[in-house]
Amino acid sequence: MGSWLPVRRGTLSMRSFWPRSTLGRTLLLLAVLLLGTQGAVYVLFHQYVLNPAAERFAEFLWQTDHALIAAGADHSAIGTLQWRSPQVMPGTPANNYFLRQSARYLARIAPGAALRVGPADAHTTWMWIRGDYHQPWLGLRVSPMEFGGRGFMFIRLGIIALCTLLGAWIIVRQINRPLARLAAEAPRIGRGDMPESLAPIGGPLEVRHLEQAITSMAKDLHRLHEERTLLLTGISHELRTPLSRLLLTLHLQDPDLLAGKAAMLVDVSEMDETIDKFLTLVRSGDEEKVIRVEVTDWVMEMAETGRERYGLEVQVEHAAEATALPPLRCRPLALERVFRNLFDNARRYGGGRLDVQIIRHPDSTEIRLRDHGPGVPERDIEAMNSGTLPRQSGHGSGIGLRICRRIMALHGGTLRFANARTGGLIAKLAFPDHGTVAPGLATSSF
């Protein structure tokens, strides 16, 4: 226990030192990187720029001194070139990095070679060179050599740091503002509110992708909430009428009870069908295995089902390019449920006749089913295509339409309705060529 506490305190102190906000962490990391890069630049600049230049400068001074001596230059103590005795030590050792390195390289060239600087005035500086111990000092009058002192270096670092941190603050602010807005909208999304009123967040591409993902998630949550409400409300609403009839029948006398037995069986069958529809809406064939089928064979099989089980007069129009249709990847039982719902509607409201047509588009295959009933009011077509058709008197609760749309979305396809020009309702089932059968429900499609 005694050894654990100090380590724990040290960990806490490190955590307290580490900033909690994105801006603080970014600024700290940039400051560390800035200092590290500036240190590396300082070392590399001296190693590969100043040091080679100092070496070349030392060689130039040494060669200049020897050339003047060999040429018999006037060893005067006055003028732009001045000479001093080898025993005299003019000036002082160099006090900046470049000249110190030049003096060091000069000493390597020959024993006794040296470089000294001074005195200096407002306009010039004297530089003194000696080729070896026995040669006189050569003085050159040069302009002051300013390489920028430590003050300049700190000013430069300060300016770079200020610009870097300002840029970091702008960048992080561009990220934090949309994230803060998303965080402010999160409670609404958690309550199931739709995010249509959410203004565009903006920000970097990744934040926009996050916004789109959260918006899609919010819509899915809202849809699940609506479907749960529909499931509970629909079951209670659909079952209330047959249950009331059963309860009324059970209160009759025995002879009347026996006479109402057939009606009771119809009510029970209706309740069983209603429950099955709601369970189908929840499942929608998600767990069924995916297979490949030929479109023409599948349509012919479904047409035969419509004739045998629903008593429909089904006519199938063969497209000229039917033999070139790509195979369809589907969940057969789930997709058959779509056709069964459409067959049932055609039997009830479509006049008992159904025309089936296969149409090939450049990137999709479409199956059209047209009945010969009165059609649907135009005001309801858009609601049917969006899956929001309210309950109609004598037309059920619209669960079948939701089941069909969900199954088509599961196959990457769409289901749309339109009134035929000569009467009747057309159901259009479109299957994209490159569409995939989702492993789960593709709720974003409806």
Q: Which of 266, 283, 300 is the last residue of a domain?
A: 283
> Do 295 and 393 lie in a common domain?
yes
77, 47: one domain: yes
At 415 the pLDDT is: 92
Q: Is the pLDDT of residue 168 over 60?
A: yes
Whether 165 is covered by a domain: the verdict is: no
- Asked if residue 2 is part of any domain, the answer here is no
pLDDT of residue 444: 30
Same domain? 296 vs 440: yes
371 φψ region: left (φ > 0), alpha (ψ -120 to 50), beta (else): beta
321 and 362 fall within a common domain: yes
Same domain, 41 and 99: yes
Are 326 and 274 within one domain? no
Name the percent of the chain lying above pLDDT 70.
67
Taking alpha carbons only, the member of 385, 374, 366 closest to residue 420 is 374
Tell me whether residue 117 is exposed, middle or buried, using C-beta atoms within 10 angstroms of its C-beta: 0 to 12, 13 to 18, 19 or more. buried
- Has residue 5 been placed in a domain? no
Last residue of a domain, one of 283, 299, 318: 283
In this structure, the answer to whether residues 275 and 291 fall within a common structural domain is no
For residue 166, being part of any structural domain is answered with no
- pLDDT recorded at residue 65: 85
User: Measured on CA atoms in the order 91, 97, 100, 105, is the torsion positive or negative?
Assistant: negative
Question: Which residues make Cβ contacts (< 8 Å) with residue 106, sequence separation at least 6?
Answer: 58, 61, 62, 113, 114, 115, 129
Of 101, 124, 147, the domain-final residue: 147
Q: How many domains does the chain have?
A: 3
pLDDT at 199 over 50: yes
CA gap 161, 194 in Å, rounded: 45
Of residues 440 and 239, which shows the higher confidence score? 239
Q: Between these two residues, 365 and 77, which has the higher pLDDT value?
A: 365
Mean predicted lDDT score pLDDT of the chain: 76
User: In this structure, is residue 173 part of a structural domain?
Assistant: no
- Closest C-alpha among 9, 88, 100, 19 to residue 57: 100
| Mean of pLDDT values over 301-308 | 92
Can you give the pLDDT at residue 75?
72
Question: Are 389 and 416 a contacting pair, CB within 8 Å?
Answer: no
pLDDT tens-digit map of 82-103? 888 888 888 888 888 888 888 8
Retrieve residue 78's tokens.
């006055």
Q: Are residues 427 and 364 in the same domain?
A: yes
Contact residues for 156 (Cβ-Cβ < 8 A; gap 6+): 148
pLDDT in tens, 94-153: 888 888 888 899 989 888 889 988 876 667 788 889 888 888 888 888 876 665 555 666
Asked whether residue 354 carries a pLDDT value surpassing 80, the answer given is: yes
Domain with 326 in it: what CATH number? 3.30.565.10
Q: Are residues 431 and 300 in the same domain?
A: yes
The answer on pLDDT for 67 being more than 60 is yes
Q: Does the pLDDT value for residue 407 go beyond 50? A: yes
∠ at Cα 309 (305, 312), nearest 5°? 80
Instruction: Enumerate residues 6+ apart whose C-beta is below 8 A from 289.
Output: 331
Two tokens at 1? 């226990």
Q: Which domain holds residue 371?
A: 285-445
Verify that 234 and 317 share a domain, yes or no: no
CA separation for the pair 435, 335 (Å, rounded): 15
pLDDT at 442 over 60: no
pLDDT band at 369 (very low <50, low <70, confident <90, very high): very high
Paired tokens of 309: 């089980």
Angle formed by the axes of helices 150-190 and 22-45, nearest 10°: 150
Q: What is the pLDDT of residue 287?
A: 60
Q: Is residue 177 part of a domain?
A: no
> Both tokens of residue 436?
């995939």
Q: How far is Cα 116 from Cα 127, in angstroms, rounded to an integer?
A: 6
Residues 204 and 318 both lie in one domain: no
Let me know if residue 216 belongs to a domain. yes
> CA-to-CA distance for 221 and 189, rounded, in angstroms?
8
Which residues are CB-contacts of 142 (< 8 A; sequence separation ≥ 6)? 124, 125, 126, 127
Give the full edge-to-edge strand order of the sheet including 353-360.
313-317, 353-360, 364-371, 425-432, 414-419
Q: How confident is the model at residue 27 (pLDDT cuts 50, 70, 90)?
A: confident
Domain assignment present for residue 255? The answer is yes
Output 389 or 114, whichever has higher pLDDT: 114
Inter-residue contact 352 to 389 (CB < 8 Å): no
Residues 291 and 276 in one domain: no
Distance CA 284, CA 337 (A): 9
Label residues 381-400 b or e (16+ Cβ within 10 Å = b). Answer: bebbbebebeeeeebbbbbb
